[in-house]
């Protein structure tokens, strides 16, 4: 398959995934902001930090909801805004049009200019329904690929992009947890901490699943275990790594060549297999997460190189 097509499929999936993750983060922001004492905690900052956009907000003032919604939902200049992600995903899809099913294309194309017509006031007012709309777009797209796309290497590139983006977003969300949700003066497992951990589960649509796995009680150790290491939860880091390994393995099969990304992803999977949540906290959550982010970044570069992207 054309390298350009592979690259387009990979990025198309990443942008759709990113649009959805950003929508989920906005939900998390709203939820945290209505918890007691939110004003003192600068909750919206954690949201922009998780999207990697913190440098665009003043360091010495509270980040306001309206700024975040404008920047992450609507801003055409922000390459990571939901609006930009949807437009980029569609542009990628258009360039790789022949690899998409009709349903996939329709999922990308339908309403792709919807956000153009919203101003900030409207968008804030209708935030929950807009967030639902974005999630529905992403889910329809994923479903269309799931049910109709040929299982050729194009599908593997698509899934590789989605898994990589999802792993990165989950890791960043955990990192935010470290920064914002674990201030130094706070005792781990304290009351406020409890609310904030649950909001992370909510952002990942994982609170129900969590209960099914761990039965009732919230503890930071279990939640970390769930988000980092649970192989059954499709947004956990371990699950995403497994997916990446599986997809890259299939790609190696198509081409009969293994390269750097295949070694890297094996190390990533093995690294997570060898630890438990206790070990993560002994090493430091932040350090573990940081090294995870570094690995996924490296993996992304190696994939681009191995398959001759742009």
Partner 1 sequence: MLDGQNGVRECYAEVQSWVQRTGIAGLNRRLEEAEAIFRRIGITFAVYGEGGDPERLIPFDLLPRIFTAREWRTLDRGIRQRTRALNAFLHDVYHRGEIIRAGIIPSEIIYNNSAYKPEMVGFSPPGKVYSHIVGIDIVRTAPDRFEVLEDNCRTPSGVSYMLENRDIMTRMFPDLFAQGIVAPVDDYPAELLKSLKEVAPPACKGDPVVVVLTPGSLNSAYYEHSFLADLMGVELVEPMDLFVQDGRVWMKTTGGPTAVDVIYRRIDDEYLDPLAFNPDSLLGIPGIFNVYRNGGVTLCSAPGAGIADDKAVYTYVPDMIRFYLGEEPVLANIQTWQCAKANECAYVLEHLHELVAKEVHGSGGYGMLIGPKSTAQEIEAYAARIRANPSEFIAQPTLDLSTVPTLGPASVVERHADFRPYCLVGKQLRLVPGGLTRVALTEGSLVVNSSQGGGVKDTWVLQD
Residues that bind partner 1 (CB under 8 A): 1-6, 91, 94-95, 97-98, 102, 105-106, 109-110, 153, 157, 251, 254-255, 257, 307-308
Identify which of residues 85 and 306 has a Cβ nearer to partner 1 in the complex: 306
Identify which of residues 55 and 256 has a Cβ nearer to partner 1 in the complex: 256
Identify which of residues 25 and 163 has a Cβ nearer to partner 1 in the complex: 163
Identify which of residues 154 and 206 has a Cβ nearer to partner 1 in the complex: 154
Contact 221, 277 (CB under 8 A): yes
Q: How far is the CB of 108 from partner 1 (least distance, A)?
A: 9
How crowded is the C-beta side of 162, counted as CA atoms within 13 Å? 24
Contact 189, 163 (CB under 8 A): no
Q: How far is the CB of 114 from partner 1 (least distance, A)?
A: 13
CA–CA gap between residue 94 and residue 90 (Å, rounded): 6
Identify which of residues 13 and 26 has a Cβ nearer to partner 1 in the complex: 13
Identify which of residues 200 and 306 has a Cβ nearer to partner 1 in the complex: 306
Q: How far is the CB of 117 from partner 1 (least distance, A)?
A: 13
Return the beta strands (E) in 52-177 as ranges: none
The angle, 0 to 180 degrees and rounded to 10, between the axes of the packed helices 82-95 and 102-109 is 150
CB within 8 Å of 15: residues ≥ 6 apart: 85, 86, 88, 89, 92
| Sign of the C-alpha dihedral computed for residues 225, 230, 234 and 240 taken in this order | positive
CA torsion angle 169 173 176 182 (round to 10): -160
Contact 148, 107 (CB under 8 A): no
Q: How far is the CB of 85 from partner 1 (least distance, A)?
A: 18
DSSP-derived secondary structure letter, 35: S
Q: How far is the CB of 203 from partner 1 (least distance, A)?
A: 31
Q: How far is the CB of 155 from partner 1 (least distance, A)?
A: 13
């Amino acid at each position: 398959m054309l390298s350009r097509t592979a690259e387009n499929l990979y990025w198309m999936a990443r942008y759709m995934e990113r649009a959805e993750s950003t929508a989920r983060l906005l939900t998390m922001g709203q939820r945290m902001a209505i918890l007691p004492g939110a004003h003192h905690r600068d909750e919206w900052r954690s949201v922009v930090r998780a999207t990697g956009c913190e440098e665009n907000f003043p360091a010495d003032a509270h980040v306001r909801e309206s700024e975040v919604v404008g920047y992450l939902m609507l801003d055409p200049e922000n390459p990571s805004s939901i609006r930009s992600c949807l437009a980029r995903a569609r542009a990628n899809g258009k360039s790789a049009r022949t690899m998409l099913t009709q349903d996939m294309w329709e999922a990308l194309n339908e309403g792709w200019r919807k956000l153009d017509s919203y101003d900030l006031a409207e968008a804030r007012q209708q935030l929950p329904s807009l967030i639902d709309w974005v999630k529905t777009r992403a889910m329809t797209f994923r479903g269309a690929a799931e049910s109709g796309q040929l299982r050729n290497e194009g599908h593997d590139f698509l899934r590789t992009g989605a898994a990589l983006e999802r792993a990165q977003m989950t890791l960043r969300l955990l990192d935010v947890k470290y920064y914002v949700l674990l201030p130094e003066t706070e005792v781990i497992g304290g009351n406020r901490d409890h609310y904030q951990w649950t909001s992370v589960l909510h952002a990942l649509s994982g609170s129900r699943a969590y209960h099914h796995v761990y039965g009732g009680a919230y503890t930071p150790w279990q939640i970390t275990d769930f988000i980092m290491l649970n192989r059954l939860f499709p947004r956990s880091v371990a699950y995403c790594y497994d997916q990446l390994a599986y997809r890259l393995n299939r790609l190696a099969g198509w081409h009969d060549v293994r390269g750097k990304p295949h070694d890297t992803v094996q190390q990533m999977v093995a690294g997570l297999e060898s630890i438990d949540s206790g070990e993560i906290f002994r090493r430091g959550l932040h350090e573990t997460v940081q090294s995870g982010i570094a690995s996924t970044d490296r993996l992304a570069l190696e994939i681009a190189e191995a398959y001759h992207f742009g």
